[in-house]
Amino acid sequence: MDTTCVSAAERIPPETTAWNRLVEARWPAGVVCPRCRGREPAFRAKRLEWRCRSCRYDFTVTTGTAMHRSKVNAAKWVNAAWLSDLRPAMLARELDVSAPAARRMADALEMTGLPPGEGRLKALMNQPSDRSEALRRRLPATFDTNANPIDGLSRGQRTVLGILRGRIRGTTLSQVAAESRLSEDHARRCLNALAERGFARREKASLPWGYGSRKVVLWSLNLSEDCVSALAYLLPPTPTPQDNTCADRVPPELWSLFWNGASAKDLRLPDDAFFVATTLLDGPDPVARSWALRCLPIDALRRCRDMRGCNTGEIATRIDKAIARRADG
198: left (phi over 0), alpha (psi -120 to 50) or beta: left
Q: What pTM was computed for the model? A: 0.44
Strand stretches in the chain, DSSP E:
42-44, 49-51, 58-59, 200-209, 212-221
Cβ distance 120 to 114 under 8 Å?
Answer: yes
Domain 155-231 grouped into CATH 1.10.10.10: yes
In the chain, the amino acid numbered 268 is R
At residue 31, φ and ψ (nearest 5 deg) are -65, 135
pLDDT tens, 109-133? 887 778 888 888 888 887 655 434 4
What string of pLDDT tens digits covers the 329 residues of the chain?
444 333 343 344 566 788 888 888 888 888 888 877 788 888 887 788 888 888 778 888 888 887 877 888 888 888 888 888 888 888 888 888 888 888 888 888 887 778 888 888 888 887 655 434 434 444 443 334 445 677 678 888 888 998 998 887 788 998 899 888 888 899 999 999 898 888 999 999 887 777 777 888 999 998 888 888 888 777 666 555 555 556 688 888 788 888 665 677 888 888 888 988 888 887 888 878 888 888 888 898 999 888 887 888 888 888 998 888 887 75
- Domain(s) of CATH 1.10.10.10: residues in the chain: 155-231
The partner residues of 200 in beta bridges, in order of sequence, read 221
61 three-class SS: coil
pLDDT tens, 286-322? 878 888 888 888 898 999 888 887 888 888 888 998 8
